[in-house]
Structure 1
Amino acid sequence: MLGTFGVWGSRYLWADRVDEVAELEALGYGTFWLGSSPESDLGLVERLLDATKSITVATGIVNVWQTEPEDVAASFHRIGSDRLVLGVGVGHKQIDQAYEKPYDKLVSYLDRLDVPAERVLLAALGPKVLKLAADRTAGAHPYLVPVEHTAAARAVLGGKILAPEVTVVVEEDPQAARAIAREQLSYYFSLTNYTSNWQRWGFSEEEVAGLGSDRLIDALVAHGSPEQVAAKLRAHLDAGADHVAVQSLNGRYAELAAALGLVRTGQ
């Protein structure tokens, strides 16, 4: 359904780049993840499906505070594509004002979401929501996590799908790569659901403060040559991931596809 490697992209950056998703499909990526809370009409998702032939299009993620499950389900059935997967999640406390009792909100949203469970993935960081993903959906789509999280998530999910997003920078100068990572990921360091999760994996309060320690950046962001990045992406597969959603902060997806050994289509 997802393939081994996909591409994750914010809807704000990719809304006018639909044709480029067809190029990613041709490079051999199996899924395009449309991030940053796609709207409930799934209009951009539909455009992406219309512009491609075989790649899966997944939401990464539909925000349960910003959409109604009935509206999302109606959009899902209107589109009617077997290449559509719904990623669902709760967003962030500091952004979503209605954010309270997120677990209960997820449960009630899933209760009202008339979409087959095998076509739904849940954004999940902590063990409780990972267990909910295992019990109620096809699996989990964690975001901005170290490889140790992938190994632990596999243990919770059992045989369900594990499809983490992994941020990358194709840049061999470590200082330059970290600078790119910090510039583009800076606001995540103010979001307690992420900082708390990183501390769960052994990073101190000081390391997750500000723009993060080098050790934290290196754990969260795969950087180096295309071959070095590819090795770090495969580490998530070795830790138990079924699929890795690659978010490159400086593009170069063709070089990554070659390093990952993806098979070009249409040739």
Structure 2
Amino acid sequence: MAVDVGGIGVWRASFYWPGDAGQHAEIAAELEDLGYDAIWIGASAGDLALPETLLDATSRIAVATGIVNVWTEPLDQVVASYARVSGAHPDRLLLGIGAGHAANVEPTGQRYERPYRKVVDYLDGLDAAKTPVPRENRALAALGPRVLALAAERTAGAHPYLVPPEHTRRAREILGSGPLLAVEQKVVLETDPERARTIARATVNRYMTLPNYTNNLLRLGFTPDDFGGGGSDRLVDALVAWGDLDAVLSRVREHQDAGADHVCIHVLTEDPTTVPRPQWRALATALDLVS
């Protein structure tokens, strides 16, 4: 794998980064100083402007898109943007792509049908471009067995989102020993159960009407009853590591023991627009990231 994302990263959606490029650069520099190995950007735009800003501000940390949507982000733009950014920062940009969800795609006027075929066609386009995106510098959002197998065959590996450690174990069995398995893990640094689950549900609830996620959770043994009300306690506790630092570290180790190469930590707070810098600092210390 050309892009080394290391063992621990942070995950944050693009729309929750502050609007000022100077702030982006400052945050990226601090994350690098704290010892994190990678920054994952959810809902990444095809112009790759945010990854470029973060890479420009740092010298070591990798940046990964988690993900670029194959329906909404034009292939030609993504290829050109990747060439520009990776040319300036060799082997530090991992292009994560995926099929997204009908609820996000169909408002653009497209029909969300045959998503597997759409992803395959996009990968073909990345291969056939004048300046191809190398297999080892891209990853695939993958939950089900078929797409996990595709990730192993056509990319550096898989980036599962909204999954418990049991999914990580199953994903590793499908991927085999070689491909990257980079798992997103939501965390709430709050020890009061009611408050922690309230914070967690505010995010988990957004995914309870998206079949890609609910079908995956059904395969893992959850039931439709677990999806109501923002998620049952059982579901929330499986998807979100909440409590003190030791509780979060324990969940990270569970993913690692199940076969994850990389865990990207997605900190949830009461106000999702607030950048969780205190939590990132505390977690970096607890994880002993600074060498």
TM-score using structure 1 length: 0.96
Give structure 2 stretches of 5+ with no counterpart. 127-131, 270-275
Return the match for 1:73 from 62, 69, 79: 79
Return the match for 1:104 from 110, 117, 134: 117
Alignment of 1:82-101 (within 5 A): 82-97=91-106, 98=110, 99-101=112-114
Residue in 2 that maps onto 1:224:
243
Could you say what secondary structure the match of 2:96 adopts? strand
Alpha-carbon contact 1:6-1:33 (below 8 Å) kept: yes
Aligned residue pairs: how many?
A: 263
Residue in 2 that maps onto 1:141:
159
Identity score, percent: 53
Distance in 1 (CA, whole Å) between partners of 2:144 and 2:229 is 23
Alpha-carbon contact 1:140-1:162 (below 8 Å) kept: yes
How many Å apart are 1:209 and its aligned residue? 2.6
Distance in 2 (CA, whole Å) between partners of 1:187 and 1:221 is 14
Alpha-carbon contact 2:204-2:231 (below 8 Å) kept: no
Distance in 2 (CA, whole Å) between partners of 1:179 and 1:21 is 29
Give structure 1 stretches of 5+ with no counterpart. none
Q: Which amino acid aligns with 2:58?
A: T
Which whole-Å deviations, capped at 9, do the CAs of 1:139-198 have from their partners, x for residues lacking one?
000001011000000011111000010011011112111100111332111111111111
Residue in 1 that maps onto 2:168:
150
Return the match for 2:137 from 96, 115, 119: 119
TM-score using structure 2 length: 0.88
Could you say what secondary structure the match of 1:94 adopts? helix
Residue in 2 that maps onto 1:6:
9
Alignment of 1:166-181 (within 5 A): 166-181=185-200
Distance in 2 (CA, whole Å) between partners of 1:77 and 1:44 is 15
Residue in 2 that maps onto 1:52:
58
Could you say what secondary structure the match of 2:123 adopts? helix
Which whole-Å deviations, capped at 9, do the CAs of 1:37-59 have from their partners, x for residues lacking one?
x2211111111111111100110
Distance in 2 (CA, whole Å) between partners of 1:34 and 1:49 is 12
Return the match for 1:25 from 4, 11, 32: 32
Alpha-carbon contact 1:15-1:44 (below 8 Å) kept: no
